[in-house]
Structure 1
C-alpha cells in the first residue's frame, strides 16, 4: 500500500507544479504584452534626445486622428502645416499640446508627464489583469494586491494628468 500513497502524492505534486507553471506563464505573457503595447509610444516620449519636439495646435478631429499646425521647440525641428495626433480623451479641438514627432512621418505623440503616464496605461491594465491570475492561479495574494495597486496607480495618475 505505501507505493499507492507515494504515487498519489507524486501525481498531486506534478499537477500542482503544472498549474503553477501554466499560470505563471500566463501572468508573464500578460505583463510582456502590456510592456510591448506601452513601449510602442513610450519610447518616443521618454527617450527624446535627438527627436523633434514642439507643440501642436489642434485644428480639427476626424475619426481616430486630430490634426493641426506643428510649431517646433527643439533645435533642428521644422515647422509643419499639418501633423496628426491620436484622437483620445486627452486631446481637444482648439487646445495646444507639447508633442514629440515620430520619425519618418507626420504623426506626433503627446509629451511631458501626461504623455509619459498615458503611454504606460496599457501596462497598468496588464498589471490589473495579471493580478487576478497571480491571486487565483498562483495563490499569491500579497503579490497580486501589489500588482493591482501599481496598475491602479498608473491608470489613475494618467487620468488625473491628462
Structure 2
C-alpha cells in the first residue's frame, strides 16, 4: 500500500476514536448531571437546613403515594401544623415518628438527618452505576468505571442500611 493510504487510514481511525471518546464522554457526563439534578430537588432541603422549619411528623395515614400526619416543630420560628404531607416511600412507615424539614411555602416535608440525606442522593447512586457501564464500555476506562460503580454501590448500600 502506498504511504498516503496508510496515513489516511490512520487519520480516520484517530478521528473515529476521538469521536467515540467525545460521544461517550458526553453521555457519561449527562448521566451524572441528571443524577445530581434528580437528587438535588430533595437534597437541598435536607442538606441546607439553615433558616428552614425543622421538626417531627407522626405518620398516621398513608394512601395514594403520600402519607400525612401532625407536625411538631423543633426549630425556632417553626409553627405546628395539624397535617403535613410526606412522600410514601420505603423510608416512611405508618405509626412512626420522623425528623423532617418543611419545604418552603408548602405543607410538604422531607426526612432529615443521615437517613434523609442518603435517601435523597439515591438517584445519584443509580446514575453512578449507569455511568460506570458507559465509561467501561464506551470509554474503555475500567479503573474509572470500577470507581464509579463502587461509589454508586456504596451510596445505595448506605441509604438502604440507614433507612
TM-score (norm. length: structure 2): 0.99
Specify the alignment match of 2:32 in structure 1: 31
What is the root-mean-square deviation of aligned Cα atoms in Å? 0.4
User: What is the total number of aligned residue pairs between the two structures?
Assistant: 162
Tell me the CA shift for residue 64 of structure 1: 1.0
Unaligned runs of 5+ in 2: none
- The separation in 2 between residues aligned to 1:62 and 1:26, in whole angstroms, is 38
Specify the alignment match of 1:46 in structure 2: 47
Deviant stretches of 4+, over 6 Å: none
**Which SS does the other structure have where 1:75 is aligned?**
coil
Unaligned runs of 5+ in 1: none
Specify the alignment match of 1:100 in structure 2: 101
- The separation in 1 between residues aligned to 2:113 and 2:59, in whole angstroms, is 17
Per-residue deviation, residues 63-101 of structure 1 (Å, max 9, x unmatched): 110000000000000000000000001100000000000
TM-score (norm. length: structure 1): 0.99
- The separation in 2 between residues aligned to 1:116 and 1:82, in whole angstroms, is 23
